[in-house]
Amino acid sequence: MDVGLEHIEAARTVTEAVVKHTPIVASAALSELRSADVVLKAENLQRTGSFKIRGAMNKVASLGADAARGVTAGSAGNHAQALAFAARHFGVPCDIYVPIGAPITKIEACRAYGANVVELGASLDEAVAAARDRASSAGRVFCHPFDDPAVVAGQGTIGLELIEDVPDLATVVVPLGGGGLVGGVAIAVKTLRPDVRVVAVQAAVCSPYAGGSSPAGAVTTLADGIAVKRPGELTGPIVAQWVDEIVTVDESAIADAMVVLMDRAKLYVEGAGAVGVAAVQSGVVTPAGDATTCVVVSGGNVDLGVVPGLIRRHETEAGRRLVIFARIDDRPGSLVRFLSVFAAAGANLIEIEHQREGVDLAVRQTGVHASFEVRGADHAENVIAAAHAAGYADLRVERVR
């Protein structure tokens, strides 16, 4: 069950026909913020959208003749897509079990790679149990997402690329879920460069490696891809031996990191892939002062449904949202006149709603809740002043953020 540098180097040879050598991307935003040289290892640009293809390819290749029996896994995310792709590459059958209600985009991606996808059970644990049953009854090979030496060795190929591409590497910051990724990276990096510091990052709401919470039932987090509730039998000892430090980040930090990556780095990164950036940006991890810190951005399979909420939150935090309540005449043309004041002041209407119940209104009067996009807090103050000057003296500001 041991994993060493020789296994990682062998995995690289086996997988290099498919696995991309992903780029190192400079991060001006993080470098300026932390006054240090910070770069990103863009695994979100990897085949199937995450690092998982490295381990999946190495696992299926390691099966030899047994691969003909087919492979199976229980997963609702990146492991499923990676295994489906690897199975197609090697021409072997693949069954993927996902919980009922799993994101349709991920199900469709697995089917596009040729996998047989079965929706079963209300939780990921039930889907994994079904995959194990399928492996037992049909002779398939069950492929664990992280607790497998071939998988750990495959993920470790990232470490080889880091050593080659970042000559003055001092610190590597890596997401931590089950431990396959950071375990493999740490073995490779610290075997070749023992002086390099390896920091693992978990989401605070599910952080068993950091001695934190491991809640029962479903875990609600932007970093659902690393919400693993217990260390692996293989990966637990590897992380304990090879990783220098384990830290956690909260949901606000993860959300901020996802937006900064989109806005400043032009990288589309899922929550689990952004926790390393969250740790550096929030100050939980201090970058090396005189050498390079590399953050592994592990995946880009973002649930599109969360993006509007992330953007709204970011705009609010940046002071670009003005929310007001006002009383206006309930007569034709009154609303147009009211909104024209805000338009003339450069505020862009986002949403408006009439409120005629539950508020103190005069006869032939209506209340309106409105939210506007503004350029910042100073602009919001100018807009409010313009509204007051136009006669809307009782306008109430509910939020300027």
Top mean-pLDDT range of 12-16, 260-264, 395-399: 12-16
Tokens of 203: 């989401």
pLDDT tens digit sequence for 268-298: 999 999 999 999 999 999 999 889 999 999 9
Helix axes 5-15, 180-192, angle to 10 degrees: 110
Q: Are residues 160 and 274 in the same domain?
A: yes
Q: Are residues 179 and 252 in the same domain?
A: yes
Q: Are residues 70 and 114 in the same domain?
A: yes
Alpha carbons 163 and 144: distance in angstroms, whole number: 27
Determine the average pLDDT of the residues in 96-116: 88
Residue 104, C-beta contacts closer than 8 angstroms, at least 6 positions apart: none
Determine the average pLDDT of the residues in 116-141: 89
Q: Are residues 43 and 162 in the same domain?
A: yes
Q: Are residues 244 and 372 in the same domain?
A: no
Task: Determine contact, residues 55/180, Cβ cutoff 8 Å.
Answer: yes
Query: Would you say the C-alpha torsion 187, 189, 192, 197 has a positive or negative sign?
Result: negative
Classify residue 365: in a domain, yes or no: yes
Pairing of strands 37-42, 292-297: parallel
Alpha carbons 57 and 55: distance in angstroms, whole number: 6
Which pLDDT band, with edges at 50, 70 and 90, does 389 fall under? Answer: very high
Q: Which of residues 309, 340, 371 is at a domain's end?
A: 309
pLDDT for residue 397 is more than 60: yes
Which pLDDT band, with edges at 50, 70 and 90, does 202 fall under? Answer: very high
Determine the average pLDDT of the residues in 112-129: 88
For position 126, what pLDDT does the model report? 85
For position 1, what pLDDT does the model report? 63
pLDDT for residue 17 is more than 80: yes
Alpha carbons 237 and 179: distance in angstroms, whole number: 10
Which pLDDT band, with edges at 50, 70 and 90, does 224 fall under? Answer: confident
Question: Could you tell me how many helices (H) and strands (E) the chain has, helices first?
Answer: 15, 14
Percent of the chain predicted with pLDDT > 70: 99
Classify residue 370: in a domain, yes or no: yes
Determine the average pLDDT of the residues in 90-118: 90
| 3-class DSSP assignment, residue 93 | coil
Q: Are residues 261 and 369 in the same domain?
A: no
Classify residue 347: in a domain, yes or no: yes
Classify residue 314: in a domain, yes or no: no
Pairing of strands 24-26, 37-42: antiparallel
pLDDT for residue 401 is more than 70: no
Q: Are residues 132 and 159 in the same domain?
A: no
Specify the number of domains making up the chain.
3
Q: Which of residues 255, 282, 309 is at a domain's end?
A: 309
Q: Specify the higher pLDDT residue, 104 or 154.
A: 154
Top mean-pLDDT range of 136-140, 190-194, 364-368: 190-194
Q: Are residues 283 and 204 in the same domain?
A: yes
For position 303, what pLDDT does the model report? 81
Q: Are residues 121 and 187 in the same domain?
A: no
Q: Are residues 244 and 338 in the same domain?
A: no
User: Domain of 290?
Assistant: 5-51+153-309
Determine the average pLDDT of the residues in 142-148: 95
Q: Are residues 222 and 352 in the same domain?
A: no
Q: What CATH number does the domain containing 32 carry?
A: 3.40.50.1100
The reported pTM is 0.85
Task: Determine if residue 391 is left, alpha or beta; phi over 0 gives left, psi from -120 to 50 gives alpha, anything else beta.
Answer: left
Classify residue 367: in a domain, yes or no: yes
Q: What CATH number does the domain containing 375 carry?
A: 3.30.70.260
pLDDT tens digit sequence for 42-53: 999 999 999 999
Classify residue 119: in a domain, yes or no: yes
Q: Are residues 208 and 82 in the same domain?
A: no
For position 289, what pLDDT does the model report? 87
Task: Determine contact, residues 192/165, Cβ cutoff 8 Å.
Answer: no
Q: In terms of C-beta density within 10 A (0-12 exposed, 13-18 middle, 19 or more buried), how is residue 394 classed?
A: exposed
pLDDT tens digit sequence for 68-83: 999 999 987 899 999 9
pLDDT tens digit sequence for 231-264: 999 999 999 999 999 999 999 999 999 999 999 9
For position 120, what pLDDT does the model report? 87
Q: Which of residues 309, 340, 366 is at a domain's end?
A: 309
